[in-house]
Homo-oligomer: A and B are copies of this chain.
């Protein structure tokens, strides 16, 4: 059986726990000589930790990318919203009878510019995970997103979406309320927009649940995020009836940011700090903010009609096939 993201990071976390404990001890130590020895040891451990991180992240395979993208210490959508934007006011409700907490959104300021931010939200505590349905958005999440997209269009606010979901909710209730229709209608609405839209895949870009709010003029991916038509576990279990071959499926699916850029399905890779976005949140926020500001600046040069046409042109060219007559 393959490693989970928790197992994969365990050696690192153990090292870090050790360092933290040593620091506690050193703090209390009164003998200067002993203290110096302890400090040296800490330095050694930290070097080892840094080296470990460097090696571990220097050449991540597809499956390791999956593990990193799912890491629970990575910043989530609301963390980005707090850091990259200000004056965010979360708006809620699908106006149809339901609420969803796996997609959050509302107006916010990007520097002095009002924007509409929408994103998938995972939870960290057990309670929050349940509230957020582990990031699996329900139909009402997409219908709320549609409402916010409409508001953005009405008030000429650029749309920023942050993508981080294992996929949409596939349960009986979600089906009964039309999860498919909700995703489709959200994509449809995004293509209607004449205000610029930018999507950033910050963690997991999980199939229909991800594209449901990622049909933007520009789609950017964090260096270690993933974007996939199907979860590798699901792919492996359908193709080979062996969910444990997920790492093979991850490789075959070419779900990394690097592959997505190669196939020209995304516009830019946003670099992560050494060891991933979870190792240095502020640096990550800085990179993400710069990328968003840059692309909004570029899209600002377009007329509303050009924004609309640009988005279609972007997706229209996606797909690889042969034309026997014209190739």
Chain B residues lying within 8 Å of A176, measured Cβ to Cβ, are 97
What sequence of 0s and 1s flags, for each residue 132-143 of chain A, a beta carbon within 8 Å of any chain B beta carbon?
Answer: 000000010001
Taking the complex as formed, is A178 at the interface, i.e. its CB lies under 8 A from any CB of chain B?
yes
Q: Are B185 and A97 in contact (CB under 8 A)?
A: no
> Which residues in chain A, 49-97, are within 8 Å of chain B measured between CB atoms?
95-97
Taking the complex as formed, is A16 at the interface, i.e. its CB lies under 8 A from any CB of chain B?
no
Q: Give the distance in Å from the alpha carbon of A143 to the alpha carbon of B177 in the complex.
A: 14
Chain B residues lying within 8 Å of A143, measured Cβ to Cβ, are 96
Q: Give the distance in Å from the alpha carbon of A176 to the alpha carbon of B185 in the complex.
A: 23
Q: Are B139 and A178 in contact (CB under 8 A)?
A: no
Chain B residues lying within 8 Å of A97, measured Cβ to Cβ, are 96, 139, 176-178
Q: How many residues of A contact B (CB 8 A)?
A: 10
Count copies of this chain in the complex: 2
Taking the complex as formed, is A181 at the interface, i.e. its CB lies under 8 A from any CB of chain B?
yes
What sequence of 0s and 1s flags, for each residue 113-148 of chain A, a beta carbon within 8 Å of any chain B beta carbon?
Answer: 000000000000000000000000001000100000
Q: Give the distance in Å from the alpha carbon of A178 to the alpha carbon of B96 in the complex.
A: 6
Chain B residues lying within 8 Å of A185, measured Cβ to Cβ, are 95
Q: Give the distance in Å from the alpha carbon of A96 to the alpha carbon of B144 in the complex.
A: 12
What sequence of 0s and 1s flags, for each residue 179-197 of chain A, a beta carbon within 8 Å of any chain B beta carbon?
Answer: 0010001000000000000
How far in angstroms is the closest Cβ of chain B from A321?
32
Chain B residues lying within 8 Å of A96, measured Cβ to Cβ, are 96-97, 139, 143, 177-178, 181
Can you list 14 A-B contacts with CB-CB less than 8 angstroms, sorted by A residue number? A95-B178, A95-B181, A95-B185, A96-B96, A96-B97, A96-B139, A96-B143, A96-B177, A96-B178, A96-B181, A97-B139, A97-B176, A97-B177, A97-B178
Given contacts A96-B139, A97-B177, 12 further A-B contacts (CB under 8 A): A95-B178, A95-B181, A95-B185, A96-B96, A96-B97, A96-B143, A96-B177, A96-B178, A96-B181, A97-B139, A97-B176, A97-B178
The 5 nearest A-B residue pairs measured at CB: A97-B177, A96-B96, A95-B181, A97-B178, A97-B176
